[in-house]
Amino acid sequence: MLRSCITMALGCLLLLIAGCGGDPGAGAQRAKTVPFSGKITVDGKSPGVVKVQFLPIGSEGGVRTAYAEVKEDGSFSATTYVTGDGIVPGKYTARVGSEADGASTDPSAMMAAVMGASIETMEIDVPADGLPGVDLNFKSSTGGKKSGGAMLGN
């Protein structure tokens, strides 16, 4: 009886150890990322503090969506797995966040979103060696013109 209890306890211990692998994605194969950073403007001006999503176009193999938090001056560095690690090479649709998804803290951008201004998406092809120092120039539906007393970006 004692022997079977010890065997069962050791078996449970082995299962517990095997099940505690730490990071659930640590054993999974991650796609190689490359540098992707630069400046973002909307109608030629910094959009303020916003988020940008990079949505894979027709990707195979489960390429993840990347994102970037744009700083006040418009600078960004893409993140796929960990902050600032870059982006997996390929084609993406870039989309500046809207107020509906809580992506901006800039009052002008928030007002523009409320007034119906939208920012066009753009397609980006990231090569195997990356795109450090790229300039992404988005256009808004208002083209930088005042919309109900608010202008998109500062």
What is the reported pLDDT for 37?
A: 97
Q: How many domains does the chain have?
A: 1
| Residue 41 domain-assigned (yes or no) | yes
Q: Which residues pair with 137 in a beta bridge?
A: 41
| Residue 1 domain-assigned (yes or no) | no
**Stretch 11-16: mean pLDDT:** 49
pLDDT surpassing 60 at residue 20: no
Q: For 61-107, what is each residue's pLDDT tens digit?
A: 678 899 999 999 999 999 999 999 999 999 999 998 744 444 555 55
| Residue 60 domain-assigned (yes or no) | yes
What is the reported pLDDT for 140?
A: 86
Q: Could you tell me the pTM of the whole model?
A: 0.65
pLDDT band at 1 (very low <50, low <70, confident <90, very high): low
| Residue 48 domain-assigned (yes or no) | yes
Closest CA to 96 of 31, 35, 140, 128: 140
| Residue 133 domain-assigned (yes or no) | yes
CATH number of the domain enclosing 94: 2.60.40.1120
| Residue 96 domain-assigned (yes or no) | yes
pLDDT surpassing 90 at residue 16: no
What is the reported pLDDT for 63?
A: 82
Residue 138: other Cβ atoms inside 10 A: 20
Report residue 84: phi and psi, to 5°: 75, 10
Q: Kindly state the tokens that stand for 80.
A: 């796929």
Q: Compute CA distances 131 → 36, 53, 97, 112, 115, whole Å.
A: 5, 16, 21, 30, 34
What is the reported pLDDT for 76?
A: 96
| Residue 17 domain-assigned (yes or no) | no
Q: Which residues constitute the domain of residue 75?
A: 36-138
| Residue 24 domain-assigned (yes or no) | no
**pLDDT cut 70: percent of the chain above it:** 58
